[in-house]
Amino acid sequence: MHDPVRFLARPAPRVAPELLGWRLAIGPHVARITETEAYHGERDRACHASKGRTPRSAGLYARAGTLYVYLCYGMHWMLNLVCDDVDVPSAVLIRSIELPGIDPRASNGPGKVAKLLGLHRSHNGQHLDHGDLHLLPPLVPVKRRRRGPRVGVAYAGPGWAEKPWRWWEDGFPVVANRL
DNA sequence: CTCTAGATCTAT
DNA sequence: TAGATCTAGAGG
């Protein structure tokens, strides 16, 4: 099952751990995904769809393989790969990547990821099948998978803030959670 | 219309 | 630990 879109067409919490090791290709870059985070359903208080379908969250309800790219804190673009079926808001945030010749500490954070890959507003709503960003199956398998709570979602409250929906490859630098 | 908080990062 | 920088979404 190496068709990227079909691979993504499942709930984000199931896709996110398996997405480690897959590669993002755009222009001259081929980045290996080393950290992911899942957001799923309107009940997930950390998900942008927690307030229902709005102009911003609409993309989360699109078909698997759609890109959900949004501006965070007024200065960082976040790349999400939409998952699951149409009308089910579900997506995986790409938190860290590995790029040839680049220090892993320079590519460990969603803001850095988008910046390094040159992603911004115009990529929002694009689809993997028709845009300039492509998802390729793993070449180098993931050695060991680690799991923990999502970052920066304390506002989501009990039950959602601590949900261990973040995964990363052991050995790669991870951004510590803030309290 | 106004206001606030935010899926961050960097420098201090 | 604070400041940069901006916009979606809620409330009036």
What digits encode the pLDDT tens for the residues A74-123? 999 999 999 999 999 999 999 999 999 999 999 999 999 999 999 999 99
Q: Which helix (H) or strand (E) holds A15?
A: helix A12-19
Calpha distance A114→A118 (Å, rounded) = 6
Nucleotides on chain B within 7 angstroms of protein Cβ: 5-10
What rounded mean pLDDT belongs to chain A? Answer: 97
Ramachandran bin of A41, using left for φ above 0, alpha for ψ from -120 to 50, beta for the remaining angles: left
Say how far A111 CA is from B6 C1', in Å. 14
Calpha distance A28→A18 (Å, rounded) = 25
Q: What is the pLDDT of residue A1?
A: 59
Which DSSP state fits A16?
H
Second CATH level (architecture) for the domain A4-169? Roll (3.10)
Question: Residue at minimal CA–C1' distance from C3?
Answer: A73
Q: What is the pLDDT of residues A23-49, one digit of tens each?
A: 999 999 999 999 999 999 999 999 999
> Is there contact between A28 and strand C, defined as CB under 7 Å from any strand atom?
no
Q: What is the pLDDT of residue A173?
A: 95
What's the token pair of residue A92? Answer: 């995986």
How many helices (H) and strands (E) chain A has is answered by: 3, 8
Say how far A77 CA is from B1 C1', in Å. 27
Q: What is the pLDDT of residue A178?
A: 67
Q: What is the pLDDT of residue A45?
A: 98
pTM above 0.95, yes or no: yes
Range A139-145, long-range pairs (CB < 8 A, 24+ positions): A139/A21, A139/A23, A139/A32, A140/A21, A140/A32, A141/A21, A142/A20, A142/A21, A142/A169, A143/A169, A143/A170, A143/A171, A144/A169, A144/A170, A144/A171, A145/A17, A145/A20, A145/A169, A145/A170
Nearest to A100 by CA among A173, A171, A25, A174: A25
Q: How far is CA A178 from the centre of its chain?
A: 19
Mean pLDDT of A145-151: 98
How do strand A134-136 and strand A76-82 relate by DSSP bridges? unpaired
Say how far A85 CA is from C10 C1', in Å. 29
Closest nt by CA–C1' to A50: C9
In this prediction, residue A22 has a pLDDT band, given cuts at 50, 70 and 90, of very high
Calpha distance A4→A83 (Å, rounded) = 11
Closest nt by CA–C1' to A68: B7
% of chain A at pLDDT higher than 90? 96
Say how far A23 CA is from B11 C1', in Å. 32
Which residues 77-136 of A interface with strand C at a CB distance below 7 A?
A: none
Nucleotides on chain C within 7 angstroms of protein Cβ: 4-10
Say how far A1 CA is from C6 C1', in Å. 41
